[in-house]
Amino acid sequence: MKSSLKMALGLASAIAASTAVSNAAHAEDLTLCWAAWDPANALVELSKDFTKETGIGMKFEFVPWTNYADRFLNELNSHGKLCDLIIGDSQWIGGAAENGHYVKLNDFFDKEKISMDDFVPATVVGYSEWPKNTPNYWALPAMGDVVGWTYRKDWFSKPELQKEFKAKYGWDLGPPATFDQLKQIAEFFQKRQIDGKTVYGASIYTERGSEGITMGAMDVLYSYGFQYENPKKPYEMEGFVNSEKSVKGLEFYKALYDCCTPPGASNSYMGEGVDAFKSGQVAMHMNFAFTWPGLQKDENVGGDKIGYFVNPKGPDGDQFAQLGGQGISVVSYSDKHESALKYIKWFANKDVQAKWWSLGGYSCLNAVVKDPKFPASQPYAQAFLDSMAIVKDFWAEPSYAPLLQASQKRFHDYVVAGQGSAKDALDGLVKDWTQVFQDDGKM
């Protein structure tokens, strides 16, 4: 799941809302719709090969994340013909399938011998399937992503800090294996003076307006034992969403926010997190993996100064991470299905996927990510690979929007505003989500 409503990162060079590989449009041009961010730049470059091979021109409608969901969901709901191909958020898949926005790809995959077994399983479930865990495919996994962590490797390696940390906590300062260790590190760095500057423990997601605090809180709650529903009875949430383990997870998230975040962190998401890390404010930084290539290249905090680690384990050893990323779909209202499907076939090719990774995209193809050379291909490759093996995702129901709005309010009111208890927040969330599913006729 990637933000559908709010993001303003200073990572990408500016992309115009409408970008074309060539100014010479012709009848066979395809328009691909996505968000305006670094991976979109990489896709423009990659797609030049498709045009060379097929003669089909590519145009791109790239919209800033702040307007992404509104713009393209309105386009789909109005049966517009702007987009022939769309890279839509993972949580759109249920609504897009049930409302007929996307072309079902099963027959095409069978004809072209494109097997979903060739892709990372979590990305197939997250980006392609509806209903979940059924062989009904509405997208090809396109951009893998997951919430992970960066840290100031140069600070962690300072001998005087290592000595002080070991004396205080009894273990060697390094990437945390558990959330308890993460909090100890955050407390250790909070308001510490490093190189003459006051620094802070961690940047985490707290944003209220779109999905930020949900993505951050869930990233912790999963590893504490949170479940969306009874595995044996769909939509039965009492005792699962608000379990004792879930309560402890949400209490931890608030404690981390209270103790160890920088000033002004009450409405922080991806862009704010990147800014906090790049400016040297924080020792650790929660964010989606798509930010890592840009941070690795940063002159001030990248290179040998940055390290990456997987979302830590919870108290009972459970370890999960919030899924991000998207699949690529053919829009049912397009008049160019044949050409759009050619693009899907081309994009699924191993050589194309390998180049996609080399340009800064995140391939979901097993042949790429399971290549023995993959872990050494980038400093963050192993952390990405390990993270994608433990992902979970938010509801992908057609009514995901009110489900998300409810969690945003409940989590922010408790974690940031300090209203009520974690149990109150989760009990309220059960009520909110139950109402949504009752309105949908699913309960």
pLDDT tens column, 317-373: 999 999 999 999 999 999 999 999 999 999 999 999 999 999 999 999 999 999 999
So what's the pLDDT on residue 305?
Answer: 98
**In the predicted structure, residue 6 carries a pLDDT above the cut 90:** no
Average pLDDT over residues 427-443: 97
Buried b (16+ CB within 10 A) or exposed e, 263-273: eebebbbbbbb
So what's the pLDDT on residue 210?
Answer: 87
Cβ neighbours around 115 below 10 Å, total: 10
pLDDT tens column, 375-388: 999 999 999 999 99
27-144+323-388 with 145-320+394-438: one CATH topology? yes
**How distant is the alpha carbon of residue 44 from its chain centre?**
21
The CATH number of 27-144+323-388 is which of 3.40.190.10, 3.90.550.40, 1.10.1660.10, 3.20.20.70?
Answer: 3.40.190.10
**In the predicted structure, residue 2 carries a pLDDT above the cut 60:** no
Band (pLDDT 50/70/90 cuts) for residue 76 is: very high
Average pLDDT over residues 205-223: 96
Percent of the chain at pLDDT > 90 equals 91
| Burial class for 159, CB neighbours closer than 10 Å (0-12, 13-18, 19+) | exposed
266 phi and psi angles, rounded to 5 deg: -80, -10
Average pLDDT over residues 159-168: 98
Question: What does 159-212 look like in DSSP terms, one character per residue?
Answer: HHHHHHHHHHHSS--SS-SBHHHHHHHHHHHTTEEETTEEEEEEE-----SSSH
pLDDT tens column, 244-291: 999 999 999 999 999 999 999 999 999 999 999 999 999 999 999 999
Could you tell me the residue ranges of all domains in the chain? 27-144+323-388, 145-320+394-438
So what's the pLDDT on residue 15?
Answer: 42
How would CATH label the architecture of 145-320+394-438? 3-Layer(aba) Sandwich (3.40)
Closest to 320 in 3D by CA, of 386, 240, 366, 407:
386
Show the tokens assigned to 327. 């699949």
H-assigned helices in 373-419 = 381-388, 400-415
3-state secondary structure of 34: strand
288 phi and psi angles, rounded to 5 deg: -70, 150
So what's the pLDDT on residue 66?
Answer: 76
Band (pLDDT 50/70/90 cuts) for residue 40 is: very high
Band (pLDDT 50/70/90 cuts) for residue 27 is: low
